[in-house]
Structure 1
Amino acid sequence: MAASAAAGGAEPSTTVVDAIRDAITTGDFAPNQRLVEAELSEQFGASRAAVRNALMQLTTEGLVERIQNRGARVRAISLDEAVEITEVRMALESLCAAKAAEHATDDDHARLRALGDRMQEAVAAGDVLGYSELNRRLHALVLAISGQRTACAVLERLHGQNVRHQFRLAMHPGRPNVSLPQHLAVIDAVCAGDPDAAEAAMRTHLRSVVEALPQVEKARTTLR
């Protein structure tokens, strides 16, 4: 967990940044939760200065916000912002899918196909959490194969901001059955070496995410 990531005494600021970021993106720290420097310093075994620097960096990443006279807290991402983030993802990940189709090797094809097989098995078994993790790994693999480092850096930052909305969508009843054929279409296009088809398949998938996010949010608020 996040607390163990920085255990064992004072750590460099980068380690504290990673630990707090991980705590936010995994849900250990909830939206709007106050982030008190003294408490974080004790939890992560780091100096107050290191924690302060970490919070400043996470503020620039959009994960933390500072409220005048009230300190720092975990920034809550609204539905509208989650949709905007996904629209940016659609543009960048479509580009990366096209690049992946151009650059993928035979080994990459095998890894993509293996992930696709495991995703089908997870859906057939009703393993929603397992499918969600495979979903994440597939997107990460396509980005890695693309070699588009600038896009990957931007997408990594956006992922941290949007992780809770993505998790809710992944857990939404019936969602894996909708997204599985979309993911398999991306895999097929990349393995076929067809950049146009790969770009279109990824765009179709993420447009589906954009359309589903409001439905998931509506269902969640109805159940409250």
Structure 2
Amino acid sequence: MVTSNHSAALAFLQSSSLPMLMQEEIERLIMTGELPVGSRINESELSQRFNTSRGPIREALRALEEAGLVRNEKNRGVFVREIAFEEADEIYELREALEEIIGRRVALAIQPDAVERLRAMVDAMRSAAQAQDVEQYAQLNLQFHEILLDTAGSKKLTETYKRLVKELHLFRMRALDSGGGLRVSADEHSHIVDAIASGNPDTAGRALREHVAGSRARMHKAFGRIDADAATSSNTTATPNHPPQKEV
């Protein structure tokens, strides 16, 4: 009886966790670009790739639709979502507010050893920028903001922020990388660390908000859609020597 109950529990655990595992794997394919933005997702190919039935794949795709990463078109199938410029701009606007909250919380909670970790990451980001290693820079950038999120210590804030970042990633994958400008972002991250280390929540919150506002302004410039709000919301916008770039 005990063995039977254990086997039933194990079977339930496996069946309930498989869709989550499939969701993580499909999301990884989307985030890395292996499943390109706008492409149709083939359930049969995925089930063969992951050696599973279509059931867990369908459940995973429903969860990804709720997360805003795919769209389901009636009689056509499931596609990787495309984010329009206007939606990306709204996401940037929301991120400005969220980053300010994160900065304020981090300034009050950060420990000296974490500050040193951030400074070391900024140094690594500078090296990646000088080498024009966009992939390495993007990975370090992601880790930098992950540390800030963890330090902020808010589950709901983390969930909301990560969803917005994932959706924005779809837009950046669609957009052309204009090249250059990485050093501007590295300088901004250095300024963020200094602001956080000051322990002043107002200063840290403002630094993070300006960082995202600068990214938003560079996006506007790259798409030829500069407007007063995006161009003046931060003093960290791109200059002629630092072309616009896509950025996390």
Q: TM-score range by the shorter chain?
A: 0.7 to 0.9
Give the aligned partner of residue 7 of structure 1.
none
Aligned residue identity for 2:72: R
CA 1:52 to 1:129, structure 2 compared with 1: closer, same or farther past 3 Å? closer
Counterparts of residues 41-52 of structure 1 (less than 5 Å) = 41-52=47-58
Give the total of aligned pairs: 210
CA contact (8 A) 2:100 2:205 kept: yes
Give the aligned partner of residue 113 of structure 1.
119
CA 1:171 to 1:135, structure 2 compared with 1: closer, same or farther past 3 Å? farther
**RMSD (Å), alpha carbons:** 2.2
Greater helix proportion: 1
Please list every run of 5 or more consecutive structure 2 residues that lacks an aligned counterpart in the other structure.
1-14, 226-248
Counterparts of residues 67-216 of structure 1 (less than 5 Å) = 67-166=73-172, 171-216=177-222
**Whole-Å Cα distance in 2 between the matches of residues 214 and 149 of structure 1?**
31
Larger radius of gyration: 2
CA contact (8 A) 1:30 1:74 kept: yes
Give the aligned partner of residue 29 of structure 2.
23
Partner of 1:45: helix, strand, or coil? coil
Please list every run of 5 or more consecutive structure 1 residues that lacks an aligned counterpart in the other structure.
1-9, 220-224
**Whole-Å Cα distance in 1 between the matches of residues 221 and 174 of structure 2?**
11
Deviation at 1:218, TM superposition (A): 5.1
Aligned residue identity for 1:157: R
CA 1:141 to 1:63, structure 2 compared with 1: closer, same or farther past 3 Å? same
**Whole-Å Cα distance in 2 between the matches of residues 125 and 39 of structure 1?**
38
Aligned residue identity for 1:115: M
Give the aligned partner of residue 6 of structure 1.
none
Aligned residue identity for 2:85: L
**Whole-Å Cα distance in 2 between the matches of residues 208 and 44 of structure 1?**
41
Partner of 1:197: helix, strand, or coil? helix
Deviation at 1:209, TM superposition (A): 1.1
